[in-house]
Amino acid sequence: MFYFELLVAGLVQGAMYAMMALGLTLIYGLLRILHIAHAAVFTLGGYVGVLAANSGLPLAAAAALAVLAAAAAGPVVYGTVYRPLLDKPPYVALIASIGLLIAMEDGFRLLFGPYGLSFAENPWFVSGPDLGGIFLNWVQIALGLSALVAIAGLGLFAVGSRTGVAWRATVDDPEIAMSFGVSPERVRLLAFALASALAGLAGFLVGLLNNLIEPGMGNITSYKGLAIVVLGGLGNVPGTLWASLLLGVAESFGTIYLDRILDRDAIAFFILVVVLMWRPQGLARGR
């Protein structure tokens, strides 16, 4: 039972990583940009959520606001930072992205203080259903469910709608897709909106889980997200999902068996280094 609990906790953590890494890999697939500042959008979701909740809104409404704010921020980030740099070499956008992350992090610090904010009330954290001996709180349930719904929804959208098909065609060959009337610009804006909505929701839920929203909360998650998208094969969506779950579970067991030698957060990077030495192209094929 103990191992099963560890597995479930690991899968929940992996679901959270998936919500972050999915956006990174979708954006990489379209633009060949490693969107480091995704972490700041994650943090933005946390701040909008905690401010809304502490002003008296119910948690579900706060979550919706966090998602909306993040979904709006993504296209703005694309339009102001990445679009002007599209015809520059990819490292220019990468450096701009790092700069944006630092700027947003310090912005949060200036606006809301360096020590972070906590939820005045956190009912989802302190209660949860008893699932036959395994205890998960409502935040963990929400994380797992959100990831499932988001992944299933994106999957259906990608194969079942004309817009989804047009999106995949744009990833494949933007010039030819454009000539058939697909607007690459609209696809990019949509990708940033969806990816950022997921990151914002993840930020809000992680904030609830730690009962703390602080300016640098996205950093470690973001670095792990990068490790995951590299392991999963850059731009490879199924590979990214597998790598997310794998990392969540590895960390979960690692905290029990490796805690004398490796910190929880070091596990991702340890795996990354080992895998890259053995398979520089990642575990799965990239784009």
Name the site residues for other proteins (rule: CB under 8 A).
159, 162, 165-166, 168-169, 171-173, 175-182
Q: Give whichever of 173 and 263 is closer to other proteins, judged by the CB atom.
A: 173
Q: Which two tokens stand for residue 40?
A: 């700041």
Q: How far is the CB of 229 from other proteins (least distance, A)?
A: 18
112-115: long-range contacts, CB 8 A cutoff, minimum separation 24: 112/47, 112/213, 112/215, 114/214, 114/215, 115/214
Which residue lies nearer to other proteins by CB, 185 or 265?
185
For the bound state, the minimum distance from the C-beta of residue 185 to other proteins, rounded and expressed in Å, comes to 12
Nearer to other proteins, 187 or 229 (CB): 187
Shortest CB 175 distance to other proteins, Å: 6
Of 93 and 187, nearer to other proteins (C-beta) is 187
CB of 26 to other proteins, least distance (A): 14
The phi and psi torsions of 134 (rounded to 5 degrees) equal: -100, 125
- Residue 165: CA count within 13 A, CB half-sphere: 6
The answer to whether the beta carbons of residues 151 and 22 sit under 8 Å apart is yes
The Cα–Cα gap between 14 and 154 comes to 17
User: At closest approach, how far in Å is the CB of 179 from other proteins?
Assistant: 4
Distances (CA, A) of 287 to 29, 232, 276, 281: 7, 11, 17, 10
Nearer to other proteins, 172 or 263 (CB): 172
